């Protein structure tokens, strides 16, 4: 029996602690709990950090609300997003989703430091990313030269790795839903960081918001999401492909006008690809830094990503593998690109009563025909009218 007991004690030994170790254990738990608690910021902390949300600290305003720059007492710079009230989520869900999203950690994804709930207000606190967003660099002629080919290639590979992480490796499955040049931020070392991730989880079934963003993000939306609301990782793959083609051409898809015979940047790139002239889409400012093989490879990958049929598009895992190749010796051949909503405007007609898109809501019906152009059908998708910036429904 004694023998038996000492055997048991030996067995348990590694799992028992003396009193000082016990204390350490308690301390560690406390620290962990505090760290966890830090994910919840008090409103006062954010008021102090942003000088009461001073207008001079406003970084901009997106579809989810205004974003302010701030500085915490410990010196960390932050970006605070005040969410618009449209969230369908209650406080509890918002808190648990935000906690989960705060565990998302990747070099190519903006870090969510935490959140704050103050009465009806909900706020998200991000790490501050010093350089501008990709759209501000790429589509402004005086800034484009900062983006030589190496930097653009690094943005492409970084975005691909960040998206792969969100789709397959993060603590929860994250479809971004809004990959576009303005949601790629560059840090002081030009490392690309995907911002605004997790909005599909925080605004899960908010039709109004989804529709606002569908309309507000013309040029990047996968056709099946734009038209039928089908959201999957492949919708992100499509948007990624558009950004790749924008990075190479310096052309904004939603304002595409380089070729009167092409409705969009992907279509233009596809036509040239078919004639073995794909390099002609290259931004002239890249001439001195270009690596022709790498650019051809990226155009090929971009075209695979923007294919009309989501099933034909590669997943991000495959994209990362393809990007690591030296030459464009990929076996997959791209088929026609899907239409991403840049040139076609659906005929608008006012709805009788539209709680989803507000009094100005319009109902349009669309589908893709075999060549991926928009045609009218009886299925209904609500598309609100846009303001000149394409962000919000316009009140009639």
Ligand X SMILES: Nc1ncnc2c1ncn2[C@@H]1O[C@H](COP(=O)(O)OP(=O)(O)OP(=O)(O)O)[C@@H](O)[C@H]1O
Catalytically active residues are 178
- Least CB distance to ligand X at residue 225 (A): 15
Q: Is 81 in contact with 183 (CB distance < 8 Å)?
A: no
In the bound state with ligand X, the residue whose beta carbon lies nearer, of 114 and 216, is 216
Q: Which two tokens stand for residue 198?
A: 């997790």
Residue nearest to ligand X (CB): 62
Residue 220 touching ligand X (CB under 6 A): no
With a CB cutoff of 8 Å and minimum separation 6, the contacts of 157 are: 320, 323
Per-residue mark of binding to ligand X, 99-138 (x: CB under 6 A): -----------x---------------x-xx---x-----
Question: Measured from the CB atom, is 62 or 337 closer to ligand X?
Answer: 62
Nearest residue (CB) to ligand X, 330 versus 386: 386
CB of 131 to ligand X, least distance (A): 9
Which region among 55-63, 235-243, 264-272, 295-303 touches ligand X (by CB under 6 A)?
55-63
Q: Would you count residue 64 as binding ligand X (CB under 6 A)?
A: yes
Nearest distance, CB of residue 356 and ligand X, angstroms: 19
Site for ligand X contains 339 (CB under 6 A) = no
Among 63, 223, 314, 341, binds ligand X (CB under 6 A): 63
Question: Of the candidates 182, 218, 278, 357, which one interacts with ligand X according to CB under 6 A?
Answer: 182
Q: Does 361 bind ligand X (CB under 6 A)?
A: no
Question: How far apart are the C-alpha atoms of 395 and 350, rounded to whole Å?
Answer: 12
Which residue from 85, 50, 51 is spatially nearest to 65, judged by alpha carbons? 85
Residue 96 contacts residue 204 (beta carbons within 8 Å): no
The angle formed by the CA atoms of residues 267, 273 and 275, to the nearest 5 degrees, is 110
262: left (phi over 0), alpha (psi -120 to 50) or beta: beta
Question: Per rule CB under 6 A, is residue 218 in the interface with ligand X?
Answer: no
Our finding on whether 79 is near ligand X (CB under 6 A) is yes
Least distance (Å) between residue 140 CB and ligand X: 13
Q: How many residues are recorded in the chain?
A: 396
Residue that the structure tokens 């100005």 belong to: 360
* DSSP β-bridge partners for residue 184: 194
Place of tokens 């109004």: 208
Candidates 49, 50, 62, 286; binder of ligand X (CB under 6 A) is: 62
Q: Measured from the CB atom, is 63 or 310 closer to ligand X? A: 63
Is 302 near ligand X (CB under 6 A)? no
C-alpha to C-alpha distance for 115 and 168, rounded to whole angstroms: 24
Provide the phi-psi class of 123: left if phi over 0, else alpha when psi is between -120 and 50, else beta: beta
Helix 316-323 crosses helix 149-164 at what angle (to 10 degrees)? Answer: 150
283, two tokens: 């931004």
- The answer to whether residue 185 forms part of the interface with ligand X (CB under 6 A) is yes
Give the residue, chosen from 158, 216, 341, 393, that forms a contact with ligand X under the rule CB under 6 A. Answer: 216
Nearer to ligand X, 62 or 162 (CB): 62
CA angle 149, 154, 159 (to 5 degrees): 130
Residue numbers 142-181 binding ligand X by CB under 6 A: 178
Residue 67 interacting with ligand X (CB under 6 A)? yes
Question: Nearest approach, Cβ of 110 to ligand X (angstroms)?
Answer: 5
Q: How far apart are CA 135 and CA 137, in angstroms?
A: 5
Report the alpha-carbon angle 228-209-337, nearest 5.
40
Q: How far is the CB of 62 from ligand X (least distance, A)?
A: 2
Tell me: does residue 60 bind ligand X (CB under 6 A): yes
Q: Which two tokens stand for residue 188?
A: 């002081």
Count of positions on this chain that bind ligand X (CB under 6 A): 20
Minimum CB distance to ligand X smaller for 207 or for 332? 207
Contacts for 1 with CB less than 8 Å, ≥ 6 apart: none
Which residues of the chain form contacts with ligand X (CB under 6 A)?
59-60, 62-64, 67, 79, 81, 110, 126, 128-129, 133, 178, 182-183, 185, 195-196, 216
């Amino acid at each position: 029996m004694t023998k038996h007991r000492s055997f048991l004690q030996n067995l348990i030994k590694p799992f028992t602690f003396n009193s000082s170790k016990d204390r350490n254990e308690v301390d560690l738990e406390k620290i962990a709990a505090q760290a966890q608690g830090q994910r919840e910021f008090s409103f006062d902390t954010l008021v102090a950090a942003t000088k009461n949300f001073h207008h001079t600290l406003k970084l901009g305003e997106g579809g989810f609300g205004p974003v302010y720059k701030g500085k915490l007492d410990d010196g960390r710079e932050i970006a605070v997003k005040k969410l618009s009230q449209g969230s369908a989520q209650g406080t509890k869900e918002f808190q648990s989703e935000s906690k989960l999203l705060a565990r998302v950690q990747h070099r190519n994804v903006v870090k969510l430091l935490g959140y704050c709930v103050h009465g009806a207000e909900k706020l998200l606190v991000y790490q501050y990313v010093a350089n501008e967003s990709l759209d501000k660099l790429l589509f402004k002629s005086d800034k484009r030269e900062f983006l030589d080919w190496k930097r653009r290639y690094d943005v492409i590979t970084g975005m691909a790795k960040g998206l792969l992480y969100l789709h397959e490796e993060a603590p929860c499955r994250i479809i971004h839903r809004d990959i576009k040049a303005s949601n790629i931020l560059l840090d002081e070392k030009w490392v690309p960081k995907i911002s605004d991730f997790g909005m599909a989880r925080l605004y899960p079934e908010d039709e109004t918001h989804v529709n606002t963003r569908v309309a507000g993000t013309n040029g990047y939306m996968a056709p099946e999401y734009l038209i039928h609301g089908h959201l999957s990782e492949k919708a992100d793959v499509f948007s990624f492909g558009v950004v790749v083609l924008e990075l190479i051409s310096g052309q904004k898809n939603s304002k595409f006008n380089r070729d009167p015979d092409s409705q969009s940047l992907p279509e233009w790139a596809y036509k040239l690809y078919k004639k073995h002239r794909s390099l002609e889409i290259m931004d002239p400012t890249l001439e001195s830094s270009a690596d022709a093989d790498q650019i051809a490879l990226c155009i090929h990958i971009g075209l695979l990503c923007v294919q009309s049929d989501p099933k034909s598009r590669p997943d991000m895992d495959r994209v990362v593998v393809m990007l690591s190749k030296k030459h464009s010796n990929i076996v997959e051949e791209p088929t026609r690109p899907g239409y991403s909503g840049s040139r076609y405007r659906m005929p608008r007609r006012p709805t009788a009563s539209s709680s989803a898109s507000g009094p100005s809501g319009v109902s349009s019906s669309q589908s893709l025909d075999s060549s991926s152009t928009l045609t009218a059908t009886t299925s209904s998708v609500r598309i609100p009218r846009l303001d000149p910036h394409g962000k919000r429904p316009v009140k009639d």
